[in-house]
A and B are shown apart, each in its own frame.
Chain A
């Protein structure tokens, strides 16, 4: 994956702009504009994302699944360039399988391990990549406390910081977390042009992973106009 991007001159963009028949957005990189979030509760974590992927002003995929499984009980929420995040997620999935599959361990891999693998890839290629990733999961007994009980990310996250600050309280149970996530994502999707579609939720706990989808017409409504 070590592409010497720094040495490659930016001539590609200029050549293609001469052709008027091919519109601009076909040459834009595919990006997951996105709103993603993760909320921890006692016994697991709830993660959620919108489902819109854009190339410029065109929605390339309106039912994207941005909650990517890395391992049985570890997920990552992807935001940024679709190609970059898909590639990193594939690499980390492979490494984690080698780590816990080939090198036999008694217990499943820790979420910290997955997060560190992501961090290694993202930092090493930070000049070439555009990626914002939330790593969440249920990772067995760990010696380090989880850093943040709540995390939001993506372009739509800026619209819901206020909502999260006022509505999150420690000690929520699973259903309250799901409601909070769905409400926050709906608000962000309402205001952010790059977020939209359906809301995808996943609950990760010791019992396993439970996924659900909230369609557009079933989203919680806030504004009267």
Chain B
């Protein structure tokens, strides 16, 4: 009863059939002198810290497409469940969809168990999905939340490895942010201190990394409440210059105006 199937029945996961076609198109386009549009990446600084009563997550708000800022105020702190939030760095579409998929699965799981979801569950789901796609989903995540076992913070890498730590940073600005954390982190901080620390870490990323910029978003998660503060700090307001030269500059002694536009009777024959 063998049938000749013309098309292969669709199976789950990504289909990489168009990769060869894309490679050919890229070759053709390069010959003409143009280039394919780059995927929008969140250059990004994201970080999280555990303090006495919970977790503070922070993120910048710049999304880049190559060397151009595509979105000056994008939201990088994604909802996973009422007590769990996740910051995403890497390819914007990947972080958005991955967190939405896990959020939806976690809600079903939570209805099935009848309990508030645990951060470890979200971590397991995320790492198993990312490992399955062998790093091709470019999502680097900072997952934080408070559950029945207290506050938890995980960093999740695109290939599916995770680390459970008291403070984590991810993204292109992570080195700048980590420098701030390594200097000033203390265990069992108060909420205001933790917020200030995260704000300073993201600011370090914004001012020292080209891929990060605009505002600072914060998300404070404790057992009793979630504060989604967007924006917490607008450090790059439009029109306000950072270093404005007012006094102490070279004095202007004289102004001379020379016209460089040719008059008409020179141009015509």
Contacts and interface: CB of A to CB of B under 8 A. Distances in A.
Contact of A30 (B124, B138, B161): B161
A61 interface: yes
A12 B163 contact: no
B127 A86 contact: yes
Given A22-B211, A26-B140, A86 B23 contact: no
Interface string A18-58: 11111100100110000000000000000000000101001
Contacts of B89: 26
Contact of A20 (B67, B132, B171): B67
Interface hub of B127, B157, B162, B171 (most chain A Cβ within 10 A)? B157
B16 A61 contact: no
A29 B127 contact: no
B103 to A, nearest CB: 22
Interface in B36-70: 38-39, 41, 43, 64, 66-67
A87 B172 CA distance: 26
B235 interface: no
B135 interface: yes
Contacts of B205: none
Interface bin, chain B: 35 or more
Nearest to B66: A19
Interface residues of A, number: 34
Nearest to B211: A21
B159 A83 contact: yes
Given A9-B19, A22-B172, A26-B172, A86 B162 contact: yes
B41 A9 contact: no
Interface of B: 16, 19-20, 22-23, 35, 38-39, 41, 43, 64, 66-67, 89-90, 124, 127-128, 130-136, 138, 140, 155, 157, 159-163, 165, 171-172, 174-175, 210-211
18 contacts: A1-B131, A5-B134, A11-B22, A18-B38, A19-B41, A19-B64, A21-B210, A22-B211, A23-B172, A26-B90, A29-B159, A55-B157, A58-B175, A60-B157, A61-B165, A81-B159, A86-B160, A90-B128
